Amino acid sequence: MHEMGICDGILTASLEAAARENASRINSINVTIGVLTEVQEDALQFAFSVLTKDSIAEGSTLNVTMVPARSVCGECSAEFVHGRFDAKCAECGSYVCTLVAGRELQIDSIDID
Amino acid sequence: MQVDIAKGILEKNDALAEENRERFARSGVFVVDLMASPGAGKTSTILATIAALRDRYRIAVIEGDIASRVDAEKIAAHGIPAVQINTGGACHLESDMIKRAVDTLDLDEIDLLIIENVGNLVCPTDFDLGEHAKVMILSVPEGHDKPYKYPGIFQVSEAVILNKHDTVGVFDFDEAEFRSVVHDLNPNAPVFALSATKGEGVEAWTEWLAARVEAAKAVQP
């Protein structure tokens, strides 16, 4: 359940930003999350519904954009998308790869009134 | 109205981790975060480490568990200051928990602080605690295929301990393959094979750790 801690981070930053804008309500929060963070969207949505209670974000929508894992091969330079458990070059089979996407944990924007 | 934020979700955790790190630096404390599955031998490895280094360094331990004080009591029984954090269900430690635990310790009386993270190969990976090094322990019975399944934790670790090494033959553990995949994932991380409860092979690990403790003391302002 690290989703609860991650959701707390989302909500804290969103409420701070909303307060700076003197918002009365948060309608939606947009986040980008890499699949390698092992965040389950269902668990994140559940945590969100619990943590937003009695805040100006209660009833708001959490829009999650999941980013697939992508690496560049250190041996043949191929760039490839891979699953969570197989960071192995699709071209030459090497494991010497540098991850370029898939660990994102970012709040992109919020929609407020 | 749309407002751009574009900031890291864990920014608050990371900022507090940085405060912890500065606090450790001021007192010249080296902090290592031990991560592993439940049952891999985190507490046994800590006890073996204490046995090897307690004459050279003042050691304290922060124990992270979902519940119970079992581990802290084991450590305290050896006369080492131990703080238990109960996460109450959370699967990893966060920097504010470490801050509160550290508040109960006298950092100026400590050279080496060992944090035992909650048993888990996934969640602790992304959370900076303010430690100087994350080190993971894999135990032989878990199987040599774990680096394929949990690459993230092997990539963030500065060293890898292969515990319960005395059981390699029993569990059909392919050590050469394990070392090769760990090397591919993290070429700079040394792999220390040891058997914590038997005290075998512990020295290479504790000397690596001692060198890091010395380096932290040397840069103390």
**pLDDT per position as a tens digit, A40-50:** 899 999 999 99
Contact B205, B125 (CB under 8 A): no
Q: For chains A and B, what is the number of CB pairs under 8 angstroms?
A: 92
Residues 21-60 of B with CB under 8 A from A: none
Contact B82, B72 (CB under 8 A): yes
When the pLDDT of each residue in chain B is averaged and rounded to a whole number, the result is 94
Mutation target among A38, A62, A65, A66 for the B interface, most CBs of B within 10 A: A38
Contact B95, B13 (CB under 8 A): yes
Q: Determine the pLDDT at residue B89.
A: 76
* Residues B20-58 pLDDT 10s: 999 999 999 999 999 999 999 999 999 999 999 999 999
Question: In terms of DSSP bridges, do strands B82-86 and B59-65 run parallel, antiparallel, or are they unpaired?
Answer: parallel
Domains of chain B: 12-218 (3.40.50.300)
SS3 assignment, position A75: coil
**Residue among B9, B89, B150 whose CB faces A105 most closely:** B9
Q: Cβ of A2 and B92 within 8 Å?
A: yes
**Residue among B10, B90, B127 whose CB faces A4 most closely:** B90
Q: Residue B93 corresponds to which tokens in the numbers above?
A: 């430690």
Q: Cβ of A1 and B90 within 8 Å?
A: yes
Amino acid identity of residue B23, one-letter, is R
Between B177 and A36, the more confident residue is B177
In the CATH hierarchy, which fold is given to the domain comprising A2-68+102-112? hypothetical protein PF0899 fold (3.30.2320)
Q: Cβ of B12 and A99 within 8 Å?
A: no
Contacts of B187 in chain A (CB under 8 A): 96
* Closest listed residue to residue B89, CA positions, set A34, A11, A3: A3
Over 90: is that where the pLDDT of B90 sits? no
Bridge partners for B133 per DSSP:
B32
Over 90: is that where the pLDDT of B101 sits? yes
* Residues B36-45 pLDDT 10s: 999 999 999 9
**Residue among B89, B126, B184 whose CB faces A95 most closely:** B184
The distance of B218 to chain A (nearest Cα, Å) reads 33
3-state secondary structure string across A55-89: CCCCCCEEEEEEECEEEEECCCCCEEEECCCCCCC
Q: Determine the pLDDT at residue A98.
A: 84
Amino acid identity of residue B77, one-letter, is A
Over 70: is that where the pLDDT of B135 sits? yes
ipTM: 0.80
